[in-house]
Amino acid sequence: MHASELVQSLWIGSNISRIEKISMQSFLSAGHEYHLYTYSEEPMDLPDGVVRKDAREIVPEHMVWHHGHGPEKGSVAGFSDYFRFQLLFQRGGVWADADLICVRPLPLDQEVLICSETVRPGLVQPSTQLLKFPAGDRFLAECIADIEARDVDGIAFLEVGPALVDRKVRELGYQKHVVPADYFCPVPWWEFYRPFIPGHAEKLMELLAREDVYCLHLWHELLRRIDIPKDAEMAKGSVIEQMAERFAVPSSPGRHDPREVQDFLVGILLANAEDWCSEIEKPEIERLVAEAAGINPADPRLFRVRYEKADLPEEFAATEQELARVPAEVARIFMVALARAQAARRFGRDDLQPVVERNLSDSALEAGPDATAEAAWHFLRRQDRESAASLLEEADALGFSSASLHVARGRHLQLSGKNALAEGSFRAALDLDGKTWNAALLLAEVLHSEGEHEAALPHAQSAADFQKTVWAFMVLARVQMALRNSEAAELALRSALELSGGANWNATRLLHEVLSQTGRPAEASELVSSYLANNPEDARALNWAARNGHTRHRAAG
């Protein structure tokens, strides 16, 4: 068998679930040899024919890292990307993620093959789920060098995987090696629920029957976040169950309560409706919610989505009626209480505010420190410092402590003009978790407001490095301007403008100031003219232009 017919993958840990077994068996059934690299020395229940290899031969075990922040916390996705680049650089051949199901022999005629995925409707980019390279390829060498030059603690999710591959494809001219998304990722990430729901089976099986579709990608990272019971038998008739039957991979009897599978099916539908794709249209959200309600009408995630997605007062009122029909404890679950309070405020339901906000405080305190911090932020955003203070006092009485709670407390103190105490809270948050970027940013704001610009700079810089937001770059720019670092301030302001699509007046105004101070008045004037042409209704910008005698406008576009 040629190296090009060999499929290789990695598994961290010793427990291989049913989904990974389906994946491995599918490649074996398609005629491919399969090598699985592991660091574990524990026995593993692998399909017959899978060859177990020592991952230490490729990358030493002490170099394994996990993502430490956000919804990807605990994921080894970044390290997995590094490992695959090293494996292919050293040995060549094919890499396949362990959540790919092979439906026909892979098309391996070309020497280099790079898969792609649809990252949003209409946009396809190179990715990493399936790769083929000869050993020693310069593309791999550059990817490895890029990762090794970074601090792994600061690597964001997908930063050294699809994003890196996309950049290197463009830099090195490897576009001809990129194959269509349908080859290996025919189902986009925001439809990751389709293989698990019987109602989608017919159309999906038709898609998989096409001769230009070679694999089905199950989007393991999204499944991990909603805690899929991966050894359980899923809904009868779903594509995943049809694949399990095709490749003779049984479930593990007794390991999962049927209600756990039911809970997963609701979660996989609502996660899509709630979080995964901002482009999703309202009718599709309503269809997903209705489908989930048919499985479990009292699921709290249903009410969270209904409240968050309500666009009309009538939709809010209908959700209130539905909530009254389910057990009372559903309303006391924090995710429901928060979404309900936000919706009541959004629709001006002052008659409900006292009830829903007391319920929010009670549910937050019951849920713990991080939920309490989130509820405190809700009160602060609606300028209700009294409710925020009361909630924080109750949290103190319960002995709650977390980085997020220190940040919320610090923000309350900052808004109350108690900067010294606020500084202490932000520093306490950073002591608990040095990657709490909003604590660093708010600490920079406090220090900057007190004239301690040198002390503020490292905190502002670290926040902007870790979380690239308009807010972070604006704080960094103001600190740099106070320190007369014009070049650094300009860079931060241009980053803020880029993130805002050029539609941030404060960034435009400050950049105008920097350009004027550095002897570029024409460029400064053109910047404001461009903003006014593209944002002709911005009263703040128009008033500023009138006060400063700025009359030169140019046409938008």
In contact, 301 and 270? CB cutoff 8 Å: yes
Helix and strand totals (H; E) in the chain: 25, 8
What residues form DSSP beta bridges with 117?
A: 125
pLDDT of residue 553: 46
The band of 276, judged by pLDDT with boundaries at 50, 70 and 90, is very low
Question: Is the confidence at residue 279, as pLDDT, over 70?
Answer: no
Query: What's the rounded Cα separation, in Å, for the pair 173 and 215?
Result: 26
pLDDT of residue 308: 87
Maximum mean pLDDT: which of 185-199, 302-316, 387-401: 387-401
Pairing assessment for the beta strands 215-217 and 100-102 based on DSSP bridges:
antiparallel
* Side chain identity, residue 418: K
* Side chain identity, residue 390: S
Number of domains in the chain: 2
Query: What's the rounded Cα separation, in Å, for the pair 234 and 256?
Result: 10
Q: Which of 198, 218, 238 is the last residue of a domain?
A: 218
pLDDT tens, residue by residue, 178-220: 999 999 999 998 888 889 888 889 999 999 999 999 999 999 8
Residue 422, domain member (yes or no) = no
Q: Dihedral, CA atoms, 431, 435, 436, 439, nearest 10 degrees?
A: 70
- Written as six digits, the tokens of 194 are 């389709």
Residue 126, domain member (yes or no) = yes
pLDDT of residue 512: 95
Residue 512, domain member (yes or no) = yes
Edge-to-edge, what's the strand order for the sheet holding 6-11? Answer: 50-54, 33-38, 6-11, 93-96, 123-133, 113-120
Listed in sequence order, the DSSP H helices in 278-418 are 282-295, 300-309, 313-325, 334-346, 353-367, 369-381, 385-397, 403-415
Pairing assessment for the beta strands 113-120 and 123-133 based on DSSP bridges:
antiparallel
The least confident of 116-120, 225-229, 402-406 is 225-229
pTM for the complete prediction? Answer: 0.63
Residue 327, domain member (yes or no) = no
pLDDT of residue 258: 60
Question: Is the confidence at residue 62, as pLDDT, over 90?
Answer: no
The full DSSP string for 20-33 is HHHHHHHHHHTT-E
CATH of the domain at 503: 1.25.40.10
216's CB contacts (< 8 A; 6+ apart) are 100, 101, 103, 186, 187, 195, 208, 239, 243
Question: Is the confidence at residue 78, as pLDDT, over 70?
Answer: yes
DSSP state for residue 108 in the 8-state scheme? -
Whole-number average pLDDT of the chain: 89
Mean predicted confidence (pLDDT) in 275-284? 58
Nearest to 504 by CA among 466, 544, 474, 476: 474
The full DSSP string for 39-59 is S--S---PPTTEEEEEGGGTS
Residue 85, domain member (yes or no) = yes
Residue 84, domain member (yes or no) = yes
Nearest to 58 by CA among 40, 38, 78: 38
Query: Which helix or strand (DSSP H or E) is residue 61 part of?
Result: none
CATH of the domain at 35: 3.90.550.10
Exposed/middle/buried for 554, CB within 10 Å: 0-12, 13-18, 19+? exposed
Residue 557, domain member (yes or no) = no
Question: Is the confidence at residue 472, as pLDDT, over 90?
Answer: yes
pLDDT tens, residue by residue, 121-171: 888 999 999 999 999 999 999 999 988 887 766 666 556 778 899 999 999
pLDDT of residue 395: 96
- Domain that residue 182 falls in: 6-188+206-218
Residue 323, domain member (yes or no) = no
In contact, 548 and 541? CB cutoff 8 Å: no
Question: Is the confidence at residue 556, as pLDDT, over 50?
Answer: no
